[in-house]
A and B are shown apart, each in its own frame.
Chain A
């Protein structure tokens, strides 16, 4: 029972060597580490230790639905107009668009026109002049799902443009995006960048409208607020999008007449369309609308051909940088809401590392001293077992790319205290058997034998608690769960294998007659 075969010793030695190898990237300076292969990487530090920001964003799916309904309404309107069917009202509500036409005789024709224009919706007639257009749930879900994937992509692009090192951007749950930005301790700018959908469209300003009363507006014209230098003004803008911002291929900050401006370039189709619009409307005002606000409304002095242009306004350098970045990265399909934000400054992170390290060394040191005082030689064996446990713990966490957080360090320190329990159980059992009059070898053997089941069962319960904490917890607490769970596994291995190996070697090394504990 106590005996160790050669192969078992080889396994132990191999585990120790591999653990050293995987722990190595954490110890060597960064310069040396660069020469290591990619699978040999150091432990990740959590944001609470290295400093940085964590944002949890939610895609506002109600806006996706609202836009979908506006699309359906607009398509229905166009279909009726093309079929020359007059209607009294058209109104989108919840998941349906309600239409009332003027002439009941045209009801079937109206229905067919809408069905042809939008094959994905369900169209019902009601009474003799009403039509209800329903959007099936399936279409809504597809739209939302596409919006979320696209949002993830746009967030990624915007943050990449922002130039943060090692950002971590992941989809979480159905409609959330989790953003981790190491080293960013004030995410105000990032939040500003992510807080705008940045939908840019070009509309024409309706001339000769002086009233600001919505009822006096001609059909197809809406009042839009001004933004930036135009804040506080209202613009009568034609609803029709002349050129969509989706046609933009590039946008850069630039200078014109010594002032910061944003330059942009369309793709071929967009450039041609922009040329047509600007040639046909010389002398009119073109509204550049960003997120439903008119940020600039220049008078067209002549046709703009060649597919590029600039946006002027009273912009600061930072504003043109941000705006060009947003236009380059593309528009978000729906607004993002920040559900949670946690930022840790680099100073606090460094303090936490120092505190965690001190706690670990002091805690570990106290345990070492106590074990040696309590168990003498066998205590020393336990200490070697503990060193092995810490080594394999760090090696494993490095290997799987685990993240170390401050609670995670606490978990590791705690696992030291709990791990010693396995040794204590074994030694106390030996002592009991020895005092009961068994021979030394028998006492040693039954110590290991009888304690094992107890060690396994008692540790497994803490493991269950840690596993549940991992699946239901978040952030730093997950780090705690990981180190605790892995620590339990490695400590069990070290108590059972490493301690036993040492005791066996000790037994072989000389004629032992008494139990040293």
Chain B
């Protein structure tokens, strides 16, 4: 394998990105993303999948090409509300039917399924049948919200234990902005929002902090090492030192996510798109938000050094 050289020989070894100097730009950009996300969530809400909204979801394959118009009129005359019917694939034989949540509790959903199957008649193979009643739907919403809240606070508490509170707060801000913008992505583009989406959001949460920690670890190390370096300069240096790692890791995770997106099938489509976004924002949120925020948080080196005062150090006041 000696005939080709490690590609990294050609990668710059020193990055000189003035993250701290350009922080207003990053804050601004981040605020715009967060505001757009929150607005979209507030105004448009989510395109809730069957897990949360309840109702009936059917995927069926017919022996012959499906007459969509007659199926539509047949199913819409059942009085089950607005039945959405879409074909999938290009054979014209695969159809996906979604019936909204029915009034009348858990029993009513099953009756709706029966009615739909009876109306469709024979000649269908049911690839997927999902019926979710109002009770389960409501529980899943509560559990998912709880999961996101617990994950964010659990991660923040861990970072607080391992680092100082300033880092925990910074990581938490970066994390929250990633979670909010990912949720905004689902809302803005009306992507199907279900349990797998929650899995994506939580994975992004974990990954976002993963990245913050790598940078923070370097900041902490450098604070111990370069006792006299002004904080803005030190933060910049830390970010740029770990930049090669950041780029390489983003790229490898990117490769796997693209593989899931292209080959993983329809079920994982939304998951993969959310992960791509999360990768993009999660990696750089530590730089956009997590790092510069340390400037304002009265980060003293004595904390880092275990209470040993460093009288010779004079920190520049934060601007």
Contact = CB atoms under 8 A, between A and B. Distances in A.
A301 interface: no
A374 B259 contact: no
Contacts of A218: none
A47 B251 CA distance: 33
Interface in A15-60: 48, 56, 58
Nearest to B253: A417
A343 B86 CA distance: 19
A465 B155 contact: yes
A150 interface: no
Interface stretch (A62-70, A266-274, A356-364): A356-364
B45 interface: no
A374 B7 contact: yes
A406 interface: yes
B92 interface: no
Contact of B128 (A345, A431, A457, A465): A345
Contacts of B207: 418, 462
Interface of B is mostly: helix
B126 interface: yes
Interface in A440-467: 450, 453-454, 457-466
A481 B199 contact: yes
B305 interface: no
Contacts of B158: 460-461, 464
B214 A375 contact: no
Contacts, number: 252
A338 B249 contact: no
Contacts of A466: 202-203, 206
A362 B195 contact: no
B88 to A, nearest CB: 11
B1 interface: yes
Interface string A407-449: 1011001101110110011001001100100000000000000
Contacts of A360: 259
Given A340-B132, A407-B199, A461 B8 contact: no
Contacts of B128: 342-345, 348
Most B-side CB within 10 Å, residue of A367, A425, A432, A458: A458
A406 B256 contact: no
B24 interface: no
Contacts of B241: 432
Interface stretch (B35-43, B265-273, B288-296): B265-273
A11 interface: no
A466 B150 CA distance: 11
A345 B155 contact: no
B256 A377 contact: no
A416 to B, nearest CB: 6
Interface stretch (B64-72, B135-143, B183-191): B135-143
B127 A457 contact: no
B144 interface: yes
Contacts of A517: 6, 8
B130 A431 contact: no
A351 interface: yes
B244 to A, nearest CB: 5
Contacts of B162: 457
A311 B260 CA distance: 58
B262 interface: yes
B263 interface: yes
Interface in B93-147: 105-107, 109-110, 113, 117, 125-133, 135-136, 140, 143-144, 146-147
Nearest to A516: B6
Contact of A461 (B1, B159, B263, B265): B159
Nearest to A454: B217
A462 B199 CA distance: 12
A435 B119 CA distance: 73
Given A342-B129, A348-B59, A462 B203 contact: yes
A186 B213 contact: no
A345 B125 CA distance: 8
A409 B265 CA distance: 12
Contact of A435 (B7, B13, B211, B257): B13
Interface in A376-421: 376-377, 379-380, 406-407, 409-410, 413-414, 416-418, 420-421
B44 interface: no
A373 B7 contact: yes
A348 B202 CA distance: 27
Contacts of B206: 461-466
B226 interface: no
Interface stretch (A79-87, A116-124, A287-295, A472-480): A472-480
A190 to B, nearest CB: 12
A410 B210 contact: no
Contact of B259 (A339, A359, A464, A516): A359
Contact of A347 (B125, B135, B214, B221): B125
A460 B143 CA distance: 22
A374 B253 contact: no
A193 interface: no
Contacts of B259: 359-360, 362-363, 366, 413
A484 interface: yes
A194 to B, nearest CB: 11
Given A421-B210, A450-B221, A457-B217, A465 B203 contact: yes
Interface string B242-254: 1011001101111
A241 interface: no
The 9 A-B residue pairs with the shortest CB-CB distance in the complex, in nearest-first order = A462-B206, A363-B259, A417-B256, A355-B265, A465-B206, A417-B253, A363-B256, A376-B6, A366-B255
15 contacts: A339-B106, A348-B59, A359-B264, A363-B260, A370-B252, A374-B248, A377-B1, A410-B260, A410-B271, A432-B241, A453-B217, A458-B209, A459-B210, A466-B202, A468-B202
Given A406-B265, A407-B271, A472-B150, 14 more contacts: A185-B126, A186-B129, A339-B106, A339-B136, A340-B132, A371-B252, A376-B4, A407-B196, A409-B264, A410-B271, A413-B256, A414-B260, A424-B248, A473-B199
